[in-house]
Amino acid sequence: MTIEATENVGTRLLFENERIRVWDLALEPGQSLEKHVHRNDYLFIVLAGGALRHVDPDHPENDRDVRFEENQVVFLEAGEGLVHERLVNTGTEPYRNLVIELKEK
């Protein structure tokens, strides 16, 4: 069974106007963000780093572990739509970043 991706790329929408959308993405240890799709280019700023795992329930061979450090900034292009499967905080500390979606190309 394939799960549809949500447009919610964070845990809480903080701000939106015609040019950008800003999300808070805060995960306690063991907590996850559901499958989501990025339709706009975006960057994220890590406020509290940690270990995360991208989990693909339909294709476990695609699971991958990542680690982000505090104050790290990452920019990604969405192309035709960048789908991220479930994102799980596998660390022992809370993880948090701000996701800034660029609505104008």
Q: Could you tell me the residue ranges of all domains in the chain?
A: 12-102
Q: Tens of pLDDT along 17-30?
A: 999 999 999 999 99
AA identity, residue 49: G
Query: Which pLDDT score, from 0 to 100, does residue 3 have?
Result: 64
- Please state the CATH superfamily assignment of the domain spanning residues 12-102 in this structure: Jelly Rolls (2.60.120.10)
Helix (H, G, I), strand (E, B) or coil at 60: helix
Task: Give the number of other Cβ atoms within 10 Å of residue 16's Cβ.
Answer: 12
- Cα 3 to the center of its chain, rounded Å: 17
Mean pLDDT (the chain, rounded): 91
Query: Which pLDDT score, from 0 to 100, does residue 18 have?
Result: 95
Burial of 9 (C-beta count, 10 Å sphere; 0-12/13-18/19+): buried
